[in-house]
Structure 1
Amino acid sequence: MNISEAAKQAQKEGRGIARHRDDPRPPMFIATNTTAGVIILPDYKNANINWQPTLDDLVANDWFVTG
Structure 2
Amino acid sequence: MQAEITREWVTYRQAEEIAGLSRTTLRKLVDQDDIKVTRVGRAVRINRASLAAYMNGDDLAAAR
- TM-score for both structures, normalised by structure 1: 0.28
Whichever structure has more helix as a proportion of its residues is: 2
- TM-score for both structures, normalised by structure 2: 0.28
Larger Cα-atom Rg: 2
